[in-house]
Structure 1
Amino acid sequence: MKTWFKTGIAVIISTFMLIAMTACSQKESKVRVAEVTRSIFYTPQYVAIEKGFFKEEGLDVELTTAWGGDKTMTALLADGADIALVGSETSIYVYAQGASDPVINFAGLTRTDGTFLVSREKIDNFNWDMLKGSTFLGQRKGGMPQMVGEFVLKKHNIDPHADLELIQNIEFANIASAFGSGTGDFVQLFEPTASIFEKEGKGHIVASFGEESGEVPYTSFMAKESYIKKNEEIVEKFVRALYKAQQWVDENSSKDIAKVVQPFFEDSDLETLEVVVDRYKNQGSFAKEMKISKESWDNLQAIMEEAGELPEKVDYEKLVNTQIVDKVMKK
């Protein structure tokens, strides 16, 4: 009887120790991710969460939406997040301020701009010259959407500060509602908002900034250099899960993808999500590979310089780490 009792106690103790060890392991593998906004543009990230690819790598990903590049970077620099999903231009801004612990881009998620030009009135044969003399509700000054917007306008011989009334002093999270309440003739919007507006008759998509601007590391995953050095294994697992998700998105239909990401967009119906996913897939917005190329990095800085927002040119090797992606791709 005593032997049985001791054996039982031993089993109970071993079980509790195993549970405790598992709990500690899960805590050590927790990754806090701050995304700049909630958009179908970031579909592979949501697929990695919903399909359990992060879980398969032993990661417990906690996702929060910061609603703005400045807020996202603040969360990262203040250790409120481990990894940020935000425009690569923010890492250049931080570097130019003399950061002792620079923010490093280690994986690309999108390779084009993700915004669309939405007109208040229906236009059957759109021409960029139609923006001249109009009121254009743009994105936040210094952010990637705004810089790409200005780059595309100039490409079509439109001076954004002389040929139209440019509004760019509205908070990122309030741009859509401002247009919905009557501000502006045209607006630059992310999805699914653009398609929702179109479906509700509040606006009409007339052009894609992504198709016009070319390849650029528009949104990438980044972390402080110190975090990557201390947690290289975790970052590698994070990248591996993302790569699985990117391949899954590339190989599956827009309808199946929409079903997977719908929990992240409860206010959008499945039909709208499918349309948006299809639009992004067709214009090649979702990166099939996570490696940020030097060519796209140079294009990013050219766009920033054109917009007058490049504080200084930064060498590709200083703020882009390709070693982790290369390691994952080889495996």
Structure 2
Amino acid sequence: MGDPGPITPDSFNDGRQQISQPFRLTATGYNLNYLPEYIALRHGFFQEQGLHVTVNIPVPWDGVLDALADGTADMALGGIWVPSMYRDRVQNYTVFAQIANRCPLALLRRGHDDGFKLQDMVGKTVLMKSGGGASVGLFFKMLMRENDIDPRSLDYIQDLDGVMLGNLFQGGMGDYFVTDNLSALAMVDRNPNVSIAMEMVEQEDVPWSVYYRETATITPEVIDAQNRFCVALGKGIDWVLQHDAESFRDELAELFPTVPVDVAVKVTNAFRRNGMWTTTTVPREGFNRWQLGLRDARLVKEPLAYESIVHDGIAVAK
């Protein structure tokens, strides 16, 4: 998805002005799997908790770490693989909440043959976007290993922009294409020659997107604000889970204007059904699964212990 620019409560709500505590978020992207946060902004849930939340999306995405370091952001939103690989090497970060509980990717193929199996991909070439970080390749190769397939038995093209790879895939490059679910459905909607072989949201829990901050900067005041943020975010998650996407299609159209609204509705409901959004708490089982994937990818020497990086008490305090 493209960068919509700075996001503020005034971008989303009805213009109500309240005196509240500034709470600055820096995020690695603008994605449908962050929907409960956008709903919380639109519906004033953060303001109810006395927080004036603003969002900045730096380009390139790793500017979120600079924003934490120089104090221009109070927290970062992105993949847990970053604070994991930085732990005890460069900087220690503490994760205090989760928003996306599943992987929001999809696997595209040409044609519409039934009976797809991951084993069919052995010896084939897979295109994978990487402009937003390493998550795409990390998850896909972990999924291969979990299904007893050596990731080295496939060829990869993954050092190019997602839009470029999408155009090349439709033009004949490679055999499969891994991209975000929303972009995949949009491509299928306009291109009858491609179809979705697999939606990764169906492939069990993983803490895909989390909120974190430099560990050394955490104070009781910071924890208090994080607690209130979790309460509001949890309310946003509950709201999305309680409303069929068809009932708020106008909001989805405003949030994602470059995507056909029917596609946005379809993906949102698929995410609702398949556990993309649950609670703000990082799941232990999903955390441990992802840590094994990061170890096998050599990003960490050994899987991190849950308590070494996650402050679970904040998210469950709501």
- The TM tier, using the shorter chain, reads 0.7 to 0.9
Q: Does 1:159 align with 2:180?
A: no
Report the alpha carbon displacement of residue 120 of structure 1 after superposing the two structures with TM: 3.3
Q: Does 1:86 align with 2:81?
A: no
The aligned counterpart of 2:255 is 264
Deviation at 1:296, TM superposition (A): 2.3
Partner SS, residue 213 of structure 2 = strand
- Cα distance in 1 between the residues matched to 2:142 and 2:217: 34
CA contact (8 A) 1:160 1:166 kept: no
Question: Cα distance, 1:197 vs. partner?
Answer: 0.5
Alignment equivalent of 1:41, drawn from 10, 33, 36: 33
**Structure 2: which 5+ runs fail to align?**
1-16
**Aligned residues of 1:116 and 1:208 also touching (Cα < 8 A):** yes
Q: Could you say what the CA RMSD is over the residues aligned between the two structures, in angstroms?
A: 2.5
User: Equivalents in 2 of 1:197, 1:87: separation in Å?
Assistant: 25
Structure 1: runs of 5 or more not aligned: 1-21
Verify: 1:252 aligned to 2:269, yes or no: no
Identity across matched positions, percent: 21
Q: Which residue of 2 aligns with 1:222?
A: 212
Q: Give the count of matched residue pairs.
A: 299
The structural deviation recorded for 1:291 is 1.4
In the alignment, structure 1 residue 276 sits paired with structure 2 residue 274 = no
Deviations, residues 144-173 of structure 1 (Å, cap 9, x unaligned) = 321110011223343222x22111222467
Taking the aligned partners of 2:177 and 2:302, their CA distance within structure 1 comes to 29
8 Å CA contact 2:108–2:184 kept in 1: the answer is: yes
Q: Cα deviations across residues 267-307 of structure 1 (Å, max 9, x unaligned)?
A: 11221111010111121111x22111332221111111222
In the alignment, does 2:124 pair up with 1:134?
yes
Q: What per-residue deviation string (whole Å, max 9, x for no partner) do you get for residues 75-128 of structure 1?
A: 3334342211111111112213142xx211101111111111111333333222
Deviates more, 1:275-284 or 1:292-301: 292-301
Asked if 1:243 is matched to 2:234, the reply is yes
Q: Please, which of 163, 180, 189 is the counterpart of residue 199 of structure 1?
A: 189
Give 1:179 shift.
Answer: 3.6
Distance 1:317 1:156, change over 3 A: closer
Is 2:315 the partner of 1:315? no
1:116 to 78, 90, 106: 106
CA contact (8 A) 2:162 2:179 kept: no
Matches within 5 A, 1:8-87: 25-26=19-20, 29-66=21-58, 70-87=62-79
C-alpha change, 1:327 and 1:240, in structure 2 (3 Å) is same
Q: Which residue of 2 aligns with 1:17?
A: none
Tell me: CA distance 1:284–1:103, structure 2 relative to 1, closer, same or farther (3 Å). Answer: same
2:23 match: secondary structure: strand
Residues 125/173 of structure 1: CA separation in 2 closer, same or farther (3 Å cut)? same
Q: How far is the alpha carbon of 1:186 from its aligned partner?
A: 1.0
- The answer to which of 138-147 and 295-304 deviates more is 138-147
C-alpha distance in 1 between matches for 2:183 and 2:157: 19
State TM-score, norm by structure 1.
0.81
AA aligned opposite 2:154: L
- 1:196 deviates by 0.5
Task: Note if contact 2:252-2:261 (Cα within 8 Å) is conserved in structure 1.
Answer: no
Alignment partner, residue 125 of structure 1? 115
Task: State the structure with more CA Rg.
Answer: 1
Using the size of structure 2 for normalisation, the TM-score is 0.84
Question: Structure 1 CA distance, aligned partners of 2:63 and 2:155?
Answer: 27
Instruction: Give the distance between the partners of 1:37 and 1:211, measured in 2 at CA.
Output: 22
Matched residue SS, 1:238: helix
Indicate the larger mover: 239-248 or 138-147. 138-147
